[in-house]
Structure 1
Amino acid sequence: MGHDVHIRHVSDGDWSGIVALEASAYTDSALSEERAALESRAHASPATCFVLDFEQQIAGYLLALPYPMFQYPDLSRMEETIFHSRNLHLHDLVIGESFRGRGLAKRLLHHLTVTAGSKMYERISLIAVGGSETFWSANEYKAHHEVALPRSYGADAVYMSKAV
């Protein structure tokens, strides 16, 4: 499997594939964002946003950008604010349904963690949505239940973080 997987930075030609993956991942929720919002988040930090190719197809993506600890992107905003922070916020990680169960999310996470360390980030934060808190806990993220989140992230959303 190793030679069939390639993680690279997002390029302009990837957006149709990213938007399709994002829409299919969030079909049953209100979490899906417009293409312009996704692009804005990636443009805020191109060095920490990635596409995962599996057998020359886009199988997943990850968007992460600097954000102050305990803050997070507003899902209703199309244009992202650019922050200078030692905290890297993992805004979105999606693996296409037909590619799940192969450890690809863990590969993307590992790649992000290594990149974050090389760029001197101190922490990685995220908001676990759709019942994914267990996955993130298994990957060493700790819940911060004291952080109030807007309804737009879903009723079971949990702010989480870990040290790089």
Structure 2
Amino acid sequence: MTSPRWRPLRASDLATASRIAALIHPDYPEDDAVMAERLRLCPEGCFALVADDGALLGYAVGHPWRARSVPDLDTLLGALPAPAGAWCIHDVALLPDARGRGAAAELVGLMRAEARRRAVAEMVLVAVGNAAGFWRHHGFRPIPEVPPPGYGAGAALMVGDI
């Protein structure tokens, strides 16, 4: 397999992305309507990682949001805040075979580029599990604000510069 590539997420990808989410994030379930809404509200922030044969190997969801906060998991937004104070990286999930090839680092660049394009002041996310080290490596730092309860104990709200 050559290096997978990121492309815009499509509505036709949502069922497969949902299966990937269930495999990669079993402790953080979300209704399929959440990802579908994020795609509808901000298609420029939704990406699919695909293999040469078009198979979906991962996905990522980002959108404008309020500074130093994130919406809780499994929550429909209704609308995006305007103006937004931050770019929220809501979800990133890569199948194990797609890891270690630079795709996640490339995704951070794609998200950062969209945040710049939208002229927001910062990027924000919640690191769960062992992900905080990855995000620190890419310029994010924990902040004292507490993430919403849906992320569970040990989750860290983090911000990164644009």
Alignment correspondent of 2:101 = 102
- 1:63 Cα deviation after fit: 0.5
1:79-138: CA deviations, max 9, x gaps?
A: 544212041100001111221121211111112112222332331110001121111101
Alignment correspondent of 2:156 = 158
Tell me whether 45-54 or 111-120 shows the greater mean CA deviation: 111-120
Runs of 4+ aligned residues of structure 1 deviating over 6 Å after TM superposition are none
User: Gaps (5+ residues) in structure 2?
Assistant: none
TM-score, L = length of structure 1: 0.88
Identity over aligned pairs, percent: 24
CA contact (8 A) 1:89 1:126 kept: yes
Structure 1 Cα separation of the partners of residues 115 and 45 of structure 2? 8
- Please say if 1:83 is aligned against 2:81: yes
CA gap of 1:79–1:114, structure 2 versus 1, over 3 A, is closer
- 1:54 Cα deviation after fit: 2.1
Of 32, 36, 41, 1:39 maps to 36
How many residues align? The count is: 160
CA contact (8 A) 1:147 1:159 kept: yes
CA contact (8 A) 1:41 1:63 kept: yes
Q: Superposition RMSD on alpha carbons, in Å?
A: 1.8
The letter for the 2-side match of 1:42 is L
The letter for the 2-side match of 1:110 is G
Structure 2 Cα separation of the partners of residues 40 and 118 of structure 1? 21
